[in-house]
């Protein structure tokens, strides 16, 4: 096990890096957070906002349950409004195949101690009276909810800073420094940030920092486009996940709409990293009916530039391209699911990059081969919900060498073997 750290350098000022800094400071450990741009403006600002346990990979359910227990107390603990609502999430089935998938997912959730239950069409009408559609059945998890990704990220960062964590914006990491077989800190343009442990929480840019160390991980980038509506008279506080779109109601009467569990295919912007770890990704890509659509665009050129020049890789990522066809489709489905609104009007649209792994669960924990180096990446769009427990667990590992939560299922070295622990019941 890695020796206990006295000072940790964290690469990445999103929700994961900020949460880790907060919990490190609670344990009395010095923490410095390095962000190449402004804090919380890349992946952490792009999430839809679901805080859910239902539909998780069986390896991830336990982690999600622990996080869910933490969320109700976070607003008070962090002294911030998180827009956290815990009134349940509803997933609805349109076809017999959907229904079978949801029933298996519900059984897995109940086996993990969740309240997830199969609900009939009549129960769906009671849970979400305004929801229209030919639903055969669904599943409902009362302890699930949703929150504001932006507010949660900023709240962790502000709380960490109040406890003494140092946050350095516009400070890209150039390299992770090694001395005597263990990490010595992070090299920046201003010099070395010395530390006895380094946490790489750099999202889609993780491998730019790990590859020079021979530790590149199988992570590919997919892009999804989301939509926020103009306000309408509030009619529900329950999140809904349909086959076509996901819906998060906000307290001000606006709604956020994202990807359904078998909805539109995400985009993958081709680049140099597209060829990485093809042995892991290509078979899954070909077998997946919702495999990402391959795109050649300005992000392709940006990606190639980052692969060829280390200095280019240190710049903040450009604004992701919004797929307007996807946004239009989301609006159509939103109107069909809630016809009483008379049509939702678009307030804004945005795109987000998702760091995806072959088994669709994150990579969390220390590297066996390099003492003092930790990673938190490949969250497959689950980072917001899991941030509290992942941040706390990594802080415990770095500060004490042990943690309450067992992270072996998420270890970086799991990709050495030929078989991954995949879960067909995950949504």
Domains contained in the chain, CATH given: 1-85+144-218+358-427 (3.50.50.60), 89-142 (no CATH), 220-238+252-356 (no CATH)
pLDDT along the chain (427 residues), means of 10: 82 97 98 95 92 92 95 98 97 96 92 93 97 97 96 98 97 96 95 97 95 95 96 96 96 95 87 82 79 89 81 85 96 97 97 94 96 97 96 97 94 82 75
pLDDT of residue 305: 84
Backbone angles phi, psi at 255, to 5 degrees: -130, 145
Please give the torsion angle defined by the CA atoms of residues 8, 14, 16 and 20, in that order, rounded to the nearest 10 degrees.
30
Give the list of residues 6+ apart from residue 113 with CB closer than 8 angstroms, or none.
65
pLDDT of residue 3: 62
Q: Which residues pair with 197 in a beta bridge?
A: 8
pLDDT of residue 1: 44
Burial of 15 (0-12, 13-18, 19+ CB in 10 A): buried
SS3 content of the chain, % helix, strand, coil (to 5): 35, 25, 40
Write out the two tokens for 55.
């539909």
Contact 242, 98 (CB under 8 A): no
Q: Which residue has the tokens 């990807």?
A: 259
Helix boundaries (H) for 191-263: 206-210
Please give the torsion angle defined by the CA atoms of residues 397, 376, 350 and 332, in that order, rounded to the nearest 10 degrees.
-90
pLDDT of residue 179: 96
Instruction: Calculate the alpha carbon distances from 174 to 306, 311, 378 in Å.
Output: 12, 8, 21
DSSP 8-state assignment for residue 42 = S
Q: What is the Cα gyration radius of the chain?
A: 21
Complete DSSP assignment for 293-346? EEE-SHHHHHHHHHHH-HHHHTSPPPPPPP-HHHHHHHHHHHHHH-GGGS---E
For residue 138, what is the enclosing H or E element? strand 137-141
| Burial state string for 348-379 with b = 16 or more CB within 10 A and e = fewer than 16 | ebbbbbbbbbbbbbbbbbbbeebbbbbbbbbb
């Amino acid at each position: 096990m890695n020796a206990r750290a006295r000072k940790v350098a964290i690469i990445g000022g999103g929700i994961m890096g900020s949460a880790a800094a907060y919990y490190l400071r609670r344990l009395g450990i010095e923490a410095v957070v390095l962000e190449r741009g402004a804090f919380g403006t890349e992946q952490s600002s792009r999430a839809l906002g679901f805080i859910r346990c239902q539909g998780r990979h069986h390896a991830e359910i336990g982690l999600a349950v622990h996080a869910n227990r933490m969320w109700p107390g976070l607003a008070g603990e962090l002294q911030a409004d998180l827009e956290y609502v815990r009134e349940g999430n509803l997933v609805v089935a349109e076809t017999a195949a959907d229904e079978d998938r949801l029933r298996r997912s519900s059984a897995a959730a109940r086996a993990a101690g969740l309240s997830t239950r199969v609900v009939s069409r009549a129960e769906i009408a009671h849970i979400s009276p305004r929801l229209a559609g030919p639903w055969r059945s669904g599943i409902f998890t009362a302890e699930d909810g949703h929150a504001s990704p932006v507010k949660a990220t900023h709240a962790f960062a502000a709380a960490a800073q109040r406890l003494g964590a140092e946050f350095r914006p516009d400070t890209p990491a150039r390299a992770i420094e090694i001395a005597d077989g263990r990490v010595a800190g992070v090299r920046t343009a201003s010099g070395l940030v010395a530390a006895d442990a380094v946490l790489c929480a750099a999202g889609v840019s993780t491998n730019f920092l790990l590859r020079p160390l021979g530790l590149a991980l199988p992570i590919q980038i997919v892009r999804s486009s989301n939509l926020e509506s103009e306000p309408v008279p509030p009619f529900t506080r329950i999140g809904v996940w349909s086959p076509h779109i996901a819906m998060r109601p906000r307290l001000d009467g606006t709604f956020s709409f994202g990807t359904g569990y078998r909805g539109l295919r995400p985009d993958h912007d081709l680049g140099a990293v597209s060829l990485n770890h093809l042995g892991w990704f290509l078979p899954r890509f070909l077998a997946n009916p919702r495999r990402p659509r391959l795109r050649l665009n300005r992000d392709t050129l940006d990606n190639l530039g980052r692969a060829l020049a280390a200095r280019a890789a240190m710049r903040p990522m450009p604004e992701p391209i919004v797929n307007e066809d996807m946004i239009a489709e989301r609006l159509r489905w939103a109107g069909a699911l809630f016809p009483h609104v008379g049509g939702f009007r678009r307030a804004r649209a945005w795109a987000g990059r998702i760091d995806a792994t072959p088994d669709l669960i994150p990579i969390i924990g220390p590297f066996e081969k390099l003492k003092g180096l930790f990673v938190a990446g490949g969250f497959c769009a689950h980072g917001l919900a899991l941030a509290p427990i992942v941040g706390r667990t990594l802080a415990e590992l770095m500060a004490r060498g042990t943690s309450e939560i067992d992270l072996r299922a998420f270890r970086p070295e799991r990709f050495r073997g030929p078989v991954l622990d995949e879960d067909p019941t995950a949504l």
